[in-house]
Chain A
Amino acid sequence: MKKNSLVGAFKELLGAENVMESETDRMNYAYDAAVLAPVLPGLVVRPRKTEDISGILRLCNENGIPVTVRGAGTNLSGGTIPSMGGLVMLTNGLQRIIEINEADMYAIVEPGVITAQLATEVAGKGLFYPPDPGSQAVSTIGGNVAENAGGLRGLKYGVTKDYVMGMEFYDAGGTLVRAGSKTVKCVSGFNLAGLMTASEGCFGVYSQLTLKLVPPPAAAKSMMAIYDSVDKAAETVAAIIAAKIIPCTLEFMDNFTIRTVEDFAKAGLPTDAKALLLIEVDGHPAQVAEEADQVETICRANGATRIQVAQTAEEKNKVWEARRAALSSLAKLRPTTVLEDATVPRSRIPDMVRGLDAIAERHKLTIGTFGHAGDGNLHPTILCDKRDREEWHRVEKGIEEIFELALGMGGTLSGEHGIGLAKAGFMEKEVGRGSMEFSRKIKRAVDPKNILNPGKIIGG
């Protein structure tokens, strides 16, 4: 974006302080949390009011400038790596919580609101916003909706899309579009809010989101079940679901992860365990008590060698601290951390874990696996050093095989982290030719100049 007059136009629109053009400023928005090479944008702008989005898009569309919207830049798929010379639009100047409606249980927010802040505000009013990605302390609602982020509570409470009731967004030409509504039921027109969810900035830019809130559970109980085989842990998962119990959280950790967490966090984990499950049930106190008992019985029946039920808030916290420490402990081992999120039907978890072990061995890779056993969403985490070319080559082979493995089991490339640039090349394998063509047709129709986050999801 060399043309000075254009930079001038952005400055006029937004004020000079909201337009960044220095090399260092641009370098700061050339990357995200994905392990991919940075790409320097030509300009970085920060709208301070949602209407500004319209003007920015109009200028970009008229001049054919690619636009990448950026929340906190925590996505793990390169979704916010801009096009060379393109424009990055920051949403963190749009952080207003417009309304928390207690009577009708919804919240209306601007896209740059931090997930954890919204959850805290909502909790302060006695309500509950369940989606809790591991990045919630910094991730934005806009980013969550655009990636359809999930979290530890996904099994019972669903993911971000289950909370999007409506939204306002600007299309490629800068025209405001309204979708969905504040009512629980709404079937007027196409489900545009549904289409826009998980669109990773390729169809339009959210300016306002209406999110469903729910009553918080009155009670919760957590436990840790320890196993001497992955199969037994996986069978437990299937048995719990088969008993028609849906825990709010059902997490898995493999032996490598257990040992690493113990090394760093000293959480008191059994380092000889082959696998462990972290389980929480919540709801009405009586139901929680009953379900916790049932879960405990099922764990034992399926071969848990030990079960620790948290009796106090402190013990409960300890259970979750161990889980929270998983990624950070693994990340400390080697310079580069590649966090994948291939997902399989939950009955295939033992096969998946065995397959991952085989891949690790075949390519001489270090892989720790943990994740959301309850929904089959595992996080095989490859620890390596990207600067070692030979090793990185093996990592790339390994990643490819992880995708193939998951797809072969009827799984998916991404349970929650999105496709972005990182997995765009694998998409057709999962969804097929027809789906890709249909998606490209929609993209061409809503964004004829292909300015909205080009290259993401569907390539090109």
Chain B
Amino acid sequence: MGDLKRLHSLLKEIDDMLASCMRCGMCQSVCPVFGQTLNEGDVARGKIALLDGLSQQLISDAQGVQCKLENCLLCGSCSANCPSGVKATDIFLKARAALTEYNGLSAVKKAIFRGTLTHPGLFNRLIDVGARFQGLMTRKANAYHGTSCAPMLSSILGNRHIVPLADRAFRKTHPFLDTPAGSSGLKVAFYPGCLVDKMYTGIGDAVIKVLRHHGVGIYLPENQGCCGMPSLASGDTKSFEKLVSHNLETFSGSHFDVLVTPCATCTATLKKVWPMMAENLGMKDQARIEAFSRKVMDINQFLVDKVGVRPKDALGDTAVTFHDPCHLGKSLGVFSQPRALIQASGKYRIKEMKDANTCCGSGGSFNLQHYETSTEIGQKKRNNIVATEAPIVATGCPACMMQITDMLSSKGDNVRVKHSIELYAEGL
């Protein structure tokens, strides 16, 4: 346990953000976790009240508060719908950092974040080893989805239907690229993100194919690191800051107009969370992060808004339903572009599901800590997907893809889970 005075002063720093919550309770209508538990402590208003209570020393149970804060998907539904403009997820990230500093980081998380994630080289090698041995640990769960269960790891993973690690990581097939702008006159830096690098390499291939097709120059540096969201969500600012500087360094090697990612979470983190958390860093770093974050863009948005990809006049025959990742829709306001991209393929037409923009229940490590709630939320999404009768569900975030695949696979639904960029790339 840390210094209580220090905790109070850290919480005082977010006092203005806390004060803007008027306790109207309107966030109850959109919070997926509250929808399951009906507990005030699980909705933004309740969490903010707890932080306020802690900072004003009305209550003393810092561990209890941290526990409530962790029962949150960081999906941003509350912020997106708050009449008072409360930036709830920003508050939660800052508060998690303060509480972790006070309560301490668990040994397991320390090992994961400080021991491996912050050392991209080591992390990559570990995963490569994992990929080679995963066959021993798992057994096939669903042939259609190519998913497995991991009975030996059931204490951590439950009976999830997991998507296997790629045989060959994306960075091995595409170690380095630095090509000049072509017909588009644009050059992008490409940040695939961990899940694309290690699991969904097809998405990375699709991005490269599409960028080349449209004459966009690509800078793909080696030795990219995690965006830092997992560490930050666990309140580990040290690891987060290390990863930020690592990545800034990695991408400083070439000029580019835009940095694109096919992962909604990475996009939102690089674009919005980095500058938000940069306050604690020096002025020079702040300015660097500012300049970097301004360039970050979701791949769908880039193709539609910058390259000018348009839906075909005659739409394709195959129905695709699209799930809006929270970090894409609610956080970045990107709704129309992935749909436009899918309909630009010539093969597909969008068939909307009910509540396309509600959370799928993944929430990064939330899924590990609260699998039951996560699954209950995920099953609602699954039901909405299946009800459209579309043979394909597309989305814009590999983490959502994992979650949705688990939901569909465990129910035995034959619905393909795809990234929008993969569908568009098929038609080229």
| Chain A interface residues toward B at CB < 8 A | 22-25, 27-35, 38, 40, 46, 72-74, 90, 92-93, 114, 116, 135, 137-138, 327-328, 331-332, 335-337, 385-387
B308 within 8 A of A: no
Indicate which residue in A24, A90, A92 contacts B59 across the interface (CB closer than 8 Å): A24
Indicate which residue in B24, B46, B50, B58 contacts A33 across the interface (CB closer than 8 Å): B24
Shortest Cβ distance from residue A19 to the other chain B in the assembled complex, whole angstroms: 13
How far, in angstroms, from A72 to B38 measured CA to CA in the complex?
10
B26 within 8 A of A: yes
| Chain B interface residues toward A at CB < 8 A | 15-16, 19-20, 22-26, 28-29, 38-41, 46, 49-50, 53, 58-61, 64-65, 67-68, 83-85
How far, in angstroms, from A46 to B37 measured CA to CA in the complex?
12
Q: Across the interface, do B59 and A385 meet the contact criterion of CB distance under 8 Å?
A: no
**B62 to A, closest residue via Cβ:** A24
Q: Across chains A and B, which 5 residue pairs bring their CB atoms closest together, nearest first? A: A328-B83, A24-B64, A335-B19, A28-B40, A137-B29
CB-defined A-B contacts under 8 Å, sample of 8: A27-B49, A35-B22, A72-B28, A74-B26, A93-B38, A331-B84, A337-B22, A385-B19
Q: Across the interface, do A23 and B59 meet the contact criterion of CB distance under 8 Å?
A: yes
Indicate which residue in A24, A34, A93 contacts B50 across the interface (CB closer than 8 Å): A24
Q: Across the interface, do B23 and A32 meet the contact criterion of CB distance under 8 Å?
A: yes
Q: Across the interface, do B67 and A24 meet the contact criterion of CB distance under 8 Å?
A: yes
Chain A residues with CB below 8 A from B39, complex form? 25, 28
Q: Across the interface, do A138 and B49 meet the contact criterion of CB distance under 8 Å?
A: no
How far, in angstroms, from A33 to B40 measured CA to CA in the complex?
13
Q: Across the interface, do A331 and B83 meet the contact criterion of CB distance under 8 Å?
A: yes
How far, in angstroms, from A92 to B46 measured CA to CA in the complex?
15
Q: Across the interface, do A138 and B29 meet the contact criterion of CB distance under 8 Å?
A: yes
Q: Which of B41, B68, B84 has the most CB of A within 10 A?
A: B84
How far, in angstroms, from A138 to B34 measured CA to CA in the complex?
12
How far, in angstroms, from A415 to B19 measured CA to CA in the complex?
27
Chain A residues with CB below 8 A from B46, complex form? 28
How far, in angstroms, from A137 to B77 measured CA to CA in the complex?
14
Chain A residues with CB below 8 A from B26, complex form? 74, 135, 137-138
Shortest Cβ distance from residue A68 to the other chain B in the assembled complex, whole angstroms: 14
Chain B residues with CB below 8 A from A93, complex form? 38
How far, in angstroms, from A251 to B40 measured CA to CA in the complex?
33
Shortest Cβ distance from residue A22 to the other chain B in the assembled complex, whole angstroms: 6
**A93 to B, closest residue via Cβ:** B38
**A329 to B, closest residue via Cβ:** B83
Chain A residues with CB below 8 A from B58, complex form? 27, 38, 40
Given contacts A73-B25, A332-B84, A386-B19, contact A24 B38 (CB under 8 A): no
Q: Which of A24, A137, A337 has the most CB of B within 10 A?
A: A24
8 more CB-based (< 8 A) A-B contacts, given A27-B53, A29-B40, A72-B28: A23-B60, A28-B46, A28-B50, A46-B38, A74-B25, A138-B29, A328-B85, A332-B85
How far, in angstroms, from A29 to B25 measured CA to CA in the complex?
12
How far, in angstroms, from A386 to B25 measured CA to CA in the complex?
19
How far, in angstroms, from A35 to B20 measured CA to CA in the complex?
12
Q: Across the interface, do A24 and B61 meet the contact criterion of CB distance under 8 Å?
A: yes
Q: Across the interface, do A335 and B28 meet the contact criterion of CB distance under 8 Å?
A: no
Shortest Cβ distance from residue B88 to the other chain A in the assembled complex, whole angstroms: 14
How far, in angstroms, from A23 to B62 measured CA to CA in the complex?
10
Q: Across the interface, do A31 and B83 meet the contact criterion of CB distance under 8 Å?
A: no
**A73 to B, closest residue via Cβ:** B25
Shortest Cβ distance from residue B376 to the other chain A in the assembled complex, whole angstroms: 16
Given contacts A23-B59, A135-B25, contact A327 B83 (CB under 8 A): yes
Shortest Cβ distance from residue B398 to the other chain A in the assembled complex, whole angstroms: 32
Shortest Cβ distance from residue B43 to the other chain A in the assembled complex, whole angstroms: 9
Q: Across the interface, do B22 and A28 meet the contact criterion of CB distance under 8 Å?
A: no
**A92 to B, closest residue via Cβ:** B38
Chain B residues with CB below 8 A from A90, complex form? 38
Q: Across the interface, do B84 and A33 meet the contact criterion of CB distance under 8 Å?
A: no
How far, in angstroms, from A73 to B40 measured CA to CA in the complex?
10
Indicate which residue in A74, A116, A328 contacts B84 across the interface (CB closer than 8 Å): A328
Chain A residues with CB below 8 A from B40, complex form? 28-29, 73
Q: Across the interface, do A31 and B23 meet the contact criterion of CB distance under 8 Å?
A: yes
Chain A residues with CB below 8 A from B20, complex form? 332, 335
**A264 to B, closest residue via Cβ:** B85
Q: Across the interface, do B53 and A138 meet the contact criterion of CB distance under 8 Å?
A: no
How far, in angstroms, from A431 to B15 measured CA to CA in the complex?
40
Shortest Cβ distance from residue A117 to the other chain B in the assembled complex, whole angstroms: 10
Shortest Cβ distance from residue B290 to the other chain A in the assembled complex, whole angstroms: 24
Shortest Cβ distance from residue B197 to the other chain A in the assembled complex, whole angstroms: 39
**B24 to A, closest residue via Cβ:** A33
Shortest Cβ distance from residue B246 to the other chain A in the assembled complex, whole angstroms: 36
Indicate which residue in A22, A92, A114 contacts B61 across the interface (CB closer than 8 Å): A22
Chain B residues with CB below 8 A from A35, complex form? 22
Shortest Cβ distance from residue A139 to the other chain B in the assembled complex, whole angstroms: 8
Chain A residues with CB below 8 A from B65, complex form? 24
Chain B residues with CB below 8 A from A327, complex form? 83
Shortest Cβ distance from residue B245 to the other chain A in the assembled complex, whole angstroms: 34
Indicate which residue in A23, A24, A92, A331 contacts B22 across the interface (CB closer than 8 Å): A331
How far, in angstroms, from A137 to B64 measured CA to CA in the complex?
29
How far, in angstroms, from A114 to B26 measured CA to CA in the complex?
12
How far, in angstroms, from A328 to B20 measured CA to CA in the complex?
12
How far, in angstroms, from A35 to B24 measured CA to CA in the complex?
10
**A137 to B, closest residue via Cβ:** B29
How far, in angstroms, from A327 to B84 measured CA to CA in the complex?
8
Shortest Cβ distance from residue B416 to the other chain A in the assembled complex, whole angstroms: 33
Q: Across the interface, do A27 and B59 meet the contact criterion of CB distance under 8 Å?
A: yes
How far, in angstroms, from A137 to B83 measured CA to CA in the complex?
13
How far, in angstroms, from A356 to B64 measured CA to CA in the complex?
44
Chain B residues with CB below 8 A from A30, complex form? 49, 53
Chain A residues with CB below 8 A from B53, complex form? 27, 30, 38
**B52 to A, closest residue via Cβ:** A38
How far, in angstroms, from A437 to B16 measured CA to CA in the complex?
44
Chain A residues with CB below 8 A from B25, complex form? 32-33, 72-74, 135, 138
